[in-house]
Chains A and B, each alone.
Chain A
Amino acid sequence: MEMIKVEDLAFEYIRRNEEGDVESINRAIDGVNLNVKKGDFIAIIGANGSGKSTLAKHINAILYPSEGTVWVNGLSTSKEENLWEIRRSAGMVFQNPDNQIIASVVEEDVGFGPENLGIPTDEIWERVEKSLEAVGMLEYREQSPNKLSGGQKQRVAIAGIMAMKPECIVLDEPTAMLDPEGRKEVVSTVHWLNKHENITVLLITHHMDEVINADKVFVMEKGKIVMQGTPREIFSRVDDIKRYRLDVPQVTELAYELKKAGLDIPEGILSTDELIRVLEKLRISQ
């Protein structure tokens, strides 16, 4: 069964003037179809204003479709009785780490989700401990979140989601405000959860190097999905990517330029090691 299924989704931001008349309509999402299998690691990339965050908020039922339907775990987000089950099964991590931590002690913040779900006290403690361990933050459980680094705060936020035992995590640009070290921490934590806890991951980002290990990549532009495929398929089309105001990973770009200059290099090189191997082979054959 599909974890997330999006069918002909459209969403309009309607701006009204003071009299309540419609002033302008901004179609942030325009006819999106999307299928995500259980256990997949999906990345969604797109320039600013491409509608990728709006799409993410539909999966957690924070926004409701203007047209079309979104199913999470077989439940339609348009039906109100599904709301809490959807929010439990598809947790969401936001961009700003400070604005999503509610309590002033790490472990209490992780316990916030289970408390809302009405989980008995003993089980909350168990879940908190397990989730903090999964993101590698157990030793900080009694600290104040204000003393943590950005990457650590995001990991606490992820633990807060994990404590609700979700099947899926949606991360809306979780690394946009972090330094390179913090970015690495968060991305590797998410990959670990995907592999070991079989959590479906939807990572929204504009850092291309976070995308290369995903199972599938979607590229969004002006509210539409314009490209989809494996990272290798996507990054083989460097010209298309650039047209959508996006970058490709540095190595991919270098390989692309070398190929354009006449070297015999395959398309869609994703890692430094890969490029080195190809270049070695070229040197030997010459």
Chain B
Amino acid sequence: MIRDITIGQYYPVDSVLHRLDPRLKLNGTLLFIISIFLFDYFYGYIAVTMFLVSIIMLSRVPLKFILRGLKPIIIILLFTTTFNLFLTQGDILVKLGFLKITKQGLHSALFMGLRLTYLILGSSLMTFTTTPNQLTDGLERLMWPLRRIKVPVHEIAMMMSIALRFIPILLEETDKIMKAQMARGADFESGGILKRAKGLVPLLVPLFVSAFRRANDLAMAMEARCYRGGEGRTKMKPLRYAGRDMIAYFILLLYFAGIIFISIYEKYFPYFDFI
């Protein structure tokens, strides 16, 4: 199950999208998400779909890998579409006993499903093409103004990157502790939910103890290397916008303007009246 979740993973290939500045990709994702909620009709979806398809092609991430990211949300997807389909009031199209499908229901089920799918695809594309380090760097720079209102931006970014560094170490450690406890007769696999949850205690306690010990060691090692928070710190790899980032920003704005235009146009001249 954990292996199915591809959202948040990085897919290492070399593409234009991979080389773009992480700040641009974060902003772009936000803009894209806003854009898919801006309109209600057919033309808008054609525009968004075309944009998404071209981005996917640019990213050089295999389509199969991208679509796998939808697997964990399939239930939510089915749930929302079914509810929208059967429970929306309006002009009745089909009636099956107490179930009825309305024109408005069909419309919102279809578009809600598409919106959710695009939302997941768009945001997972960002993480596929951005390394976790770049992502934290980008977030740090974008949130920088929030320091004015006392948000500890640098500390949050530092915590995120340390967490990323220690995930594989702690996973390995979990495995080690599990084996050690199994050798002592612990049982992680049989019994009901309650028994299994109880069985996790001998795993979690040593894991937490060791994580705290590591945290303590790491804090000491960081201080020994003159770490004293974000003040007066320089960057080895500072983020700098390149020419291609400017072009990408231009394309993004063009896309966004186009979407706004389409949504206004559609309001006055609905093309497919029946949907």
Contacts and interface: CB of A to CB of B under 8 A. Distances in A.
A99 interface: yes
B12 to A, nearest CB: 12
A125 B236 CA distance: 7
Contacts, number: 90
Interface in B228-270: 228, 232-238
B214 A98 contact: yes
Interface of B: 132-133, 161-162, 164-165, 168-169, 214, 217-218, 220-228, 232-238
Interface string A113-141: 11111111100110010000000000000
A114 B236 CA distance: 8
A125 B221 CA distance: 21
A271 interface: no
A164 B226 contact: yes
Contact of A115 (B161, B169, B234): B234
Contacts of B218: 99-100, 102
Closest 6 CB pairs of A and B: A111-B236, A100-B221, A99-B217, A116-B226, A113-B225, A92-B224
Interface residues of A, number: 38
A88 interface: yes
B234 A99 contact: no
A121 B225 contact: no
Nearest to A160: B225
A128 B222 CA distance: 17
B259 to A, nearest CB: 37
Contacts of B237: 108, 111, 121
A118 B112 CA distance: 50
A96 interface: yes
Interface of A: 60, 62, 84, 87-88, 91-92, 94, 96, 98-105, 107-108, 111-121, 124-125, 128, 145-146, 160-161, 164
Given A108-B133, A121-B235, A160-B225, 4 more contacts: A84-B228, A94-B220, A94-B221, A146-B168
Nearest to A170: B224
Nearest to B213: A99
B235 A88 contact: no
B207 to A, nearest CB: 15
Instruction: Name B's interface SS.
Output: helix
Q: Which of the listed residues A121, A128, A160 has the most CB atoms from chain B within 10 Å of its own CB?
A: A121
Given A105-B133, A108-B133, A91 B234 contact: no
Nearest to A117: B226
22 contacts: A87-B225, A91-B224, A98-B169, A99-B214, A99-B217, A99-B221, A100-B221, A104-B161, A104-B164, A111-B237, A112-B227, A113-B225, A115-B235, A116-B225, A116-B227, A121-B234, A124-B236, A125-B236, A128-B236, A146-B168, A161-B225, A164-B226
Q: Which of the listed residues A91, A98, A101, A118 has the most CB atoms from chain B within 10 Å of its own CB?
A: A98
Contacts of A117: 226
Nearest to A116: B226
B113 to A, nearest CB: 37
A132 B225 CA distance: 16
A17 to B, nearest CB: 21
A194 B208 CA distance: 39
Contacts of B132: 104
Nearest to B232: A118
Given A105-B133, A121-B238, A60 B224 contact: yes
B53 to A, nearest CB: 33
Nearest to B238: A121
B223 to A, nearest CB: 7
Given A84-B226, A94-B221, A124 B133 contact: no
Contact of A118 (B168, B222, B225, B233): B233
A125 B234 CA distance: 12
Nearest to B158: A102
